[in-house]
Structure 1
Amino acid sequence: MPLSNKHSLKIRPNKLVILDRDGVINHDSDAYIKSLEEWVPYPSAIDAIAQLNKAGYTVAIATNQSGIARGYYDETTLQSMHDRLTELVEAKGGRIAHIAYCPHGPDDQCACRKPLPGLLLQIQQQLGMDSLTGSWMVGDSLRDLKAGESVGCRSVLVRTGKGEKTLASHTNLENTLVYPDLAAFADWLCQQR
């Protein structure tokens, strides 16, 4: 089951930041992140999530986890990674409002695997929001950006993870903000008062 916490206050879309996980919050691997030991966060990303929270932003995560469908790890292992992420963020004074994940493979024809919008719509529903238009979607791949754009999110590409490769191979990113990492984006966003 995904982590979730209902909000008692109405979240304004421009105060929601949705993050991809692998390559944005933690180091990514072409061989998949298959265990808690392989899940290695960027320390600056943990700080950035707490910084966003302290500046009044709600942070949620939308992550494809096809390694489950491929049999590389199970949902219990994934939950241990998300529990660790939650602990690290909370230790810095932050909070993750919801983690939505897709356990399906690319051929499973689900509605949740990015670039489809299912994970983002799950976040919208879980947080009781009428719309995601104006929210932020931060990712390191084109599929993250496309998922966000399909529901009206503003796109942010980070150069960590697959970000440099995405930037080099796609020229149609004129509506996308590009930052070295999540921390640099958080610094910028928190200054936009």
Structure 2
Amino acid sequence: MDKIQAVFVDRDGTIGGTGHFIHPKDFSLYPFSMEALKLLKNQNIKMFAFTNQNRISKNQATIREFQEQFQSFGFDDAFICPHGQDAECKCRKPKPGLLIEASQKYNLDLSKCAVIGDVGSTDMLAAHAVGAMKILVQTGWGKGSLSEYRYTWAEVEPDYVAENLLEAVRWLNHLIN
């Protein structure tokens, strides 16, 4: 496989939290997440946060608070949809607007990028729309995405299903090396 240019990582349910909104000041990473993020950084691959955060539109948090949090975790940049579920935006996953924005900003070939997330009907569909590699983790909503909610993204197969972010990154590293 050609070198992966960037990895997009979902927040809630993928790097930590519960799958539900948690304000950045109260958000906790899973115990293995920093090790996984450091493994990615060691590969010199761009690492981007990729998240829907509709609470921003409800003034319950700011984009800046999320950006600062992602920077503290070592992400190179954060692509955040602040809009509510009913908004007619191009950036709310499963729409691929955040990925397209990143590809334009960083001159990426999205077919040489990977998306790691826990929700099939958002993360995996957005990745599929642009031809990116799809890695589903079973933390957060991941197990449900593979079972009772599989019908919501039935036409798409993940490239890999990982127990968690660390296993996902180790699998990616195996492809790279």
TM bucket, shorter chain: 0.7 to 0.9
**Change over 3 Å in CA distance of 1:124–1:40 after alignment to 2:** same
Residue 67 of structure 1, CA deviation: 1.1
Could you tell me which runs of 5 or more consecutive residues in structure 2 were left unpaired when the two chains were aligned.
none
User: Counterpart in 1 of 2:12?
Assistant: 22
RMSD (Å), alpha carbons: 1.9
Given the alignment, which residue of 147, 161, 164 partners 1:178?
161
Residue 154 of structure 1, CA deviation: 1.0
Instruction: Output the CA distance in 2 between the equivalents of 1:26 and 1:36.
Output: 13
Is 1:122 the counterpart of 2:110? The answer is: no
Conserved in 2, the CA contact under 8 Å of 1:179 and 1:185? Answer: yes
Given the alignment, which residue of 80, 84, 87 partners 2:72?
87
Instruction: Output the CA distance in 2 between the equivalents of 1:175 and 1:161.
Output: 16
After TM superposition, the score normalised by the length of structure 1 is 0.80
Instruction: Output the CA distance in 1 between the equivalents of 2:81 and 2:68.
Output: 17
User: Counterpart in 1 of 2:38?
Assistant: 50
Q: Give the letter for the 2:39 counterpart.
A: Q
Residue 185 of structure 1, CA deviation: 1.1
Residue 83 of structure 1, CA deviation: 1.9
Instruction: Output the CA distance in 2 between the equivalents of 1:82 and 1:181.
Output: 23
Q: Secondary structure at the match of 2:32?
A: helix
**Change over 3 Å in CA distance of 1:79–1:28 after alignment to 2:** farther
User: Counterpart in 1 of 2:25?
Assistant: 36
Residue 158 of structure 1, CA deviation: 0.2
Q: Give the letter for the 1:19 counterpart.
A: V
Q: Give the letter for the 2:61 counterpart.
A: D
Conserved in 2, the CA contact under 8 Å of 1:137 and 1:148? Answer: yes
User: Counterpart in 2 of 1:189?
Assistant: 172
Which contiguous aligned blocks of 4+ residues in structure 1 show a shift greater than 4 angstroms?
Answer: none
Residue 80 of structure 1, CA deviation: 2.9
Counting matched residue pairs gives 170
Instruction: Output the CA distance in 1 between the equivalents of 2:10 and 2:70.
Output: 13
Residue 175 of structure 1, CA deviation: 4.0
Over the matched positions of the two proteins, sequence identity in percent amounts to 28
Q: Secondary structure at the match of 1:62?
A: strand
The structure where helix makes up a greater share of residues is: 2
Could you tell me which runs of 5 or more consecutive residues in structure 1 were left unpaired when the two chains were aligned.
1-11, 90-95
